[in-house]
Amino acid sequence: RMTLNPKKHTLGVRIPDHAITQSLVAEFGAPILSSTFIRPGQEEPETNGWEIQDSLGHLIDVVIEGPVGQGEPTSVIDLTDDVPEVLREGAGDVSLL
């Protein structure tokens, strides 16, 4: 319930084209649940693994440091109806939709 959109009761799924993420999913053999964590009082999420490890490492099983992309927003596609709707065009090819 914590991951559902409170108004629509839907769930967003991110499918990254990222070697580390794809390798983890392949090894686990199952999807990975994650979220963007923005600390109370902050406006942006932390993106440096070493900072997260230093401050929260005692609460987290593993922190993987690595490139996370160019910072371009991802494409957002609504698949809740019969016809997909591109809500935001960003990283990711939406030409087939």
pLDDT tens digits, one per residue of 74-95: 788 888 888 888 888 887 788 8
Domain count, the chain: 1
Is residue 62, in this structure, part of any structural domain at all?
Answer: yes
Is residue 77, in this structure, part of any structural domain at all?
Answer: yes
Sequence-distant (6+) residues with CB within 8 A of 16 are: 22
Is residue 27, in this structure, part of any structural domain at all?
Answer: yes
Is residue 59, in this structure, part of any structural domain at all?
Answer: yes
For 21-51, the pLDDT digits (tens) are: 889 889 989 888 776 777 888 888 877 888 8
Nearest to 92 by CA among 79, 76, 81: 76
Nearest to 47 by CA among 33, 65, 35: 65
4 — pLDDT class (breaks 50, 70, 90):
low
Q: What pLDDT is stored for residue 38 in this prediction? A: 79
Is residue 11, in this structure, part of any structural domain at all?
Answer: no
71 — pLDDT class (breaks 50, 70, 90):
low
Q: pTM value?
A: 0.54
The range of the structural domain enclosing residue 62 comes to: 19-88
Q: Is 96 exposed, middle or buried (0-12, 13-18, 19+ CB in 10 A)?
A: exposed
Is residue 70, in this structure, part of any structural domain at all?
Answer: yes
Is residue 81, in this structure, part of any structural domain at all?
Answer: yes
